[in-house]
Amino acid sequence: MIVPFNHVLVLAGLLFLMGIFCVVARRSLIMILLGVEIMLNAAAIILVGASLLWQNLDGQAIVLFVFAIAAAEVSVGLAFIVWAYRQTGSVNPENYNILK
């Protein structure tokens, strides 16, 4: 492994923190969805780094499933955002009490 595993951990940790910040601090459903995607990518980086460290391809195979789940999550999330925007005319998550 060319890059030390500690650097991979730091990169993934920073990406995960950026994703958490994006989910917590933003007031747009699209930005919240983007934050969740950033957190999924951070988890994928950890899996690839660990599989390279231990020379086992299981982590890289799991990353393919993570990417497939992320693609499905984006498509369902964007469909939900479009539906909610048509119902309320806004992408502000505070306006969505219609789901109660």
With 0-12 / 13-18 / 19 or more C-beta atoms within 10 angstroms meaning exposed / middle / buried, residue 79 is exposed
In this prediction, residue 92 carries a pLDDT of 84
In this prediction, residue 27 carries a pLDDT of 81
For residues 74 and 37, the answer to whether their CB atoms sit within 8 Å is yes
Helix axes 5-25, 29-53, angle to 10 degrees: 170
Which domains occur in the chain, in start order? 5-92 (1.10.287.3510)
Residue 63 CB neighbour total at 10 angstroms: 19
- Please tell me whether the overall predicted TM-score, pTM, comes out greater than 0.95 for this model: no
Kindly state the tokens that stand for 36: 């969740």
Radius of gyration of the chain from its Cα atoms, rounded to whole angstroms: 17
For residues 91 and 85, the answer to whether their CB atoms sit within 8 Å is yes
Sign of the alpha-carbon torsion through 23, 29, 33, 35 = negative
pLDDT under 50: residue ranges of the chain? none
In this prediction, residue 100 carries a pLDDT of 62
